[in-house]
Structure 1
């Protein structure tokens, strides 16, 4: 679940729940509820968490069975807009990673030629 992925990322980065909660301007107990999947996330909150953890939001979403709280900030229409924006970001991220891979391959080919 998404909360578990957020918790693992937070722990890996060495952040406390208190720190993340403070950055999100919510209580530690409210943040704990998010990590324990007791509270549904909206996309905007998930993006803020990803920003604080310096992680791509798709690290939390990939392979997850996702249900969002759409009662805030414009409901379903707003979430559709955000998902559309996230799809564009994902496409850009994949293109960037492909270019990085191609650059590394080119560099390695050049190194092989000189040895």
Structure 2
């Protein structure tokens, strides 16, 4: 019996709900409105990688887990006194995705260094 892989949106929503996080909480963490977060959650593939990385960090998963629709996704919820905890199993991470993220971060560092150099030169 083959199950349809979960989309990025389904993974984000499922993880968020199992962690007990509201859309308002996620919005606050991302520094956006709840309405904006709702749109991001519905269509995360339209967000940039850095925003998806922030969502992954908040949900305590690797970005490759969210982006890879072929990952096995088994979510276990444990209800405890005072809250609930979610844990997951993930498979099939991709080196290319990691390299893409590293390259984007290198570009951002280069850009920020340029801004700093310009500020120093103006002093």
Task: Indicate yes or no: 2:37 matched with 1:31.
Answer: yes
Matches of 1:12 and 1:52 in 2, distance apart? Answer: 13
Q: Between Structure 1 and Structure 2, which shows a larger proportion of strand residues? A: 2
Distance 1:84 1:21 in 2: 23
TM-score by length of 2: 0.50
Give the superposition deviation at 1:63: 2.2
Normalised by the length of structure 1, the TM-score is 0.53
For 1:15 and 1:3, how far apart are their aligned partners in 2? 15
Give the superposed CA RMSD.
2.6
- Which residue is equivalent to 1:19? 25
Structure 1 runs (4+) deviating above 6 angstroms are none
Q: How many residues of Structure 1 are paired with residues of Structure 2 in the alignment?
A: 71
**Map of 1:48 onto structure 2:** 54
Structure 1: gaps of 5 or more residues:
65-79, 87-115
